[in-house]
Amino acid sequence: YYADLHGNLLLLHEDTQWAVLEPVPLVPRVRPPQFPDSVATEKKTGLAKIVDVYSGPGLRGVPRGTVKRLRVFSYAFSYRGMGAQWDSVGFDGPWDVRRILGTVPVESDGSAFFEIPANTPIALQPLDADGRALQTMRSWFTAMPGEMQSCAGCHEAQNSSIGEESQRLALLKPPAKIQPWLGPARGFSFNREVQPVLDASCVRCHDGTAGRPDLRCLPDVRAGRPAKGYDDPAHFPPAYLALKRFVRGYTMEGDLHLLNPYECHASTTELVRLLERGHQKVALSAEAWARITTWIDLNTPAHGTWTEICGTNRVTKMAARQRELNRRYGGVDVDLEDEAVRDQRSEVRDQRSAVGDQRSEVRDQRSEVRDQRSEIGDQRSEGGGQTVEGWPFDAAEARRRQAAAGETRRTVDLGGGVTLALVKIPAGKFIAADGGVMEVPRPFWIGRTEVSNRQFARFDPRHDSRIETDDFMQFGAEERGDPVNGPEQPVCRVSWQQAKAFCEWLAGACGEDCALPSGAQWEWAARAGASGELAYGTAETDFAKVANLADATFRQVKRFPPWDLPHGAIPPWRPAAAAVIDGFRVSAPVGSFAPNAWGVCDAHGNVAEWTRDAASDGTRRLTRGGSWWSRPRRAVFREAWPYASWQGVFDVGFRVVIDAR
């Protein structure tokens, strides 16, 4: 039809067999500009250019110089009729097989320029000096042969630019080639990559003995029991399931919003904490650390090929057809089900196992020493090594000492009708968790509770503590996760630097010296005269009324109608005190649990808390008290976990102290 300005329609052409859409008049017109073809079909690679990895929100707050390399990985997508929870690559882990390609350098100005295989899905992870991912790319891109793909930074806006690019350091050099990661490009398999580390360093103790995770290389087992609509649960190596329990990842589908930097950093996992501390006196090699870290960063995959998951009968024909089509139309000839790679890694595992046998005597001797030291540690935790007059003391004495120091309660006005409640802590000496004598020479005020989201918003209204992602697949908004950004919940995902800045802001608002507590102040206030490993007792004490720690509520896998995951098909997996019910899956509103004798709430659990103290390396800062994710044994006084001062941690908040003049 021809349509004029008055709404009249004149039929120009009609075809009963076809819809004629968007006709173009045949009239003389200027020829549109022709872009030169950027594809070089004779090449097998393309190029990737990143102007500045620190540009954009993906690495917001991460200091320049932190990113040393980029991990480059790819995917082997599922074949028809495979995938989902029945054919899982990992337990609540990746949807598709992760293929590790290698790493490329990042220059000091944040730029990177490197070759990538053409017509191949590519994803990137920025790595720190320890080879740990600071952020993860949960999408992917491809390049045609000879084509260059570029971006301004990490998750930057699509049309953004940071200005002149010609002098970026990476662009002054030829494009870097991907440095292989411990061998050829391959799908990441737990049995091939991680099990050799366990064989060499772990299975002498973790050998199936009751009460210990079994880390031996054994045949796969089903991850749940059959249930309606889920009659064939996914299968995984037993050692994989045992180790997975100690790693928090971004789950099978996860929060689709951009994650914060460090959200699932290896340092936030219990597994890495234990290994860094020298669990069982094991000292991992650089290669062993690389294998463990890469497994965590790739979202803990179990299987590295679809053949391992679904078997040759289901895979072989479709894999061959896919390879043929890739070769014919994409110029890519890669065997994604490469048996040779699997055999090669199997040989390495056998060699590592032999090394583990040679070290068994040394490990047994170390185990005896560990048991002796454990006894010594228990004695120290009870103050057995030293004595202090008047220590420990009961709740009545704690209240008497507090009252003797004068006024015991006060509030600070934060504006907008928001206040901060403080309790006074008297001066004193005590036996600390490490067995040494600690002195707090002057009384001080400390937050009765951790700083809440409402209180922190008076300082930074833009901060969002976000959510804790729920398990497995998500079919609605309610399944996205459990909020931890409620106004009365403790603020979390704040760095030590942010917490310190809040204290400085508060000092300016109230005209008093305000800071984070020192380790001694924090422990003295939390103990209130108690000498045990926890303020309320031992790791076996029922904490339901006094602390929000990892309990039966935290451990359970939630079910949502109408999809309603079958009970038992996805078994509870998070380590927890399953016999205790404190009622909270994530953080509770501050002050929900009973205070100690000095009126301090939530010293153990809810969120871990920043202190002023630096770690032994002099740069990282220590957190104390554990969180809703911590079992009691990981929230005891002697536990102090270090993080980078700029690192916002999913379960770490803080409370404040003010000098009592």
pLDDT digits (tens, 9 = 90+) for 329-345: 999 999 999 854 555 44
pLDDT category at 263 given cuts 50, 70, 90 is: very high
> 235-236 and 221-222: which strand pairing?
antiparallel
pTM: 0.88
pLDDT digits (tens, 9 = 90+) for 391-410: 999 999 999 999 998 899 99
- Mean pLDDT of all residues in 201-206: 94
- Mean pLDDT of all residues in 294-299: 98
**Can you give the pLDDT at residue 570?**
77
Q: What single DSSP character describes residue 536?
A: T
Q: Which residue has the higher pLDDT, 533 or 350?
A: 533
The proportion of the chain whose per-residue pLDDT surpasses 70, expressed as a percent, equals 90
**Can you give the pLDDT at residue 274?**
94
The CATH class, in words, for 395-659 is alpha beta
| C-beta separation of 190 from 346 below 8 A | no
At position 113, the amino acid (one-letter code) is F
Taking residue 659's Cβ as centre, other Cβ atoms within 10 Å add up to 13
Please name the residue that has the structure tokens 């690679």. Answer: 45
- Mean pLDDT of all residues in 455-474: 92
**Whole-number Å distance between alpha carbons of 157 and 365:** 57
Going from N- to C-terminal start, the domains of the chain cover 186-360, 395-659
**Can you give the pLDDT at residue 119?**
96
How many helices (H) and strands (E) the chain has is answered by 14, 24
Q: Which of 460, 443, 449 is nearest to 419 (CA)?
A: 449
**Can you give the pLDDT at residue 248?**
94
**Whole-number Å distance between alpha carbons of 593 and 288:** 42
| String of DSSP letters for 433-464 | TTS-EEEE-S-EEEESSPPBHHHHHTT-TT--
427 has pLDDT over 90? yes
Region of poorest pLDDT, from 252-266, 349-363, 498-512:
349-363
Cis amide leading into 392 (omega within 30): yes
| C-beta separation of 621 from 614 below 8 A | yes
Cα Rg, the chain, nearest whole Å: 29
Length of the chain: 661
354 has pLDDT over 60? no
Please name the residue that has the structure tokens 């002498």. Answer: 204
| C-beta separation of 658 from 445 below 8 A | yes
pLDDT category at 645 given cuts 50, 70, 90 is: very high
Sorted by sequence, the CB contacts under 8 Å of residue 9 that are 6+ apart come out as 1, 2, 3
HEC string for 373-406:
HHHHHHHHHCCCCCCCCCCCCCHHHHHHHHHHCC
pLDDT digits (tens, 9 = 90+) for 476-519: 777 788 999 999 999 999 999 999 999 999 999 999 999 999 99
Which string of b and e fits 539-555 if b means at least 16 CB within 10 Å? bebebbebbbbbbbbbb
pLDDT digits (tens, 9 = 90+) for 162-179: 666 668 999 999 999 999
Q: Which two tokens stand for residue 367?
A: 């185990």
Q: Which of 275, 289, 279, 262 is nearest to 136 (CA)?
A: 262
Region of poorest pLDDT, from 24-28, 327-331, 550-554:
24-28
State the chain's mean pLDDT as an integer: 89
Region of poorest pLDDT, from 10-24, 101-115, 152-166, 252-266:
152-166
Which H/E stretch holds residue 413?
A: strand 409-415
Region of poorest pLDDT, from 33-47, 216-230, 543-557, 560-574:
560-574
227 has pLDDT over 70? no
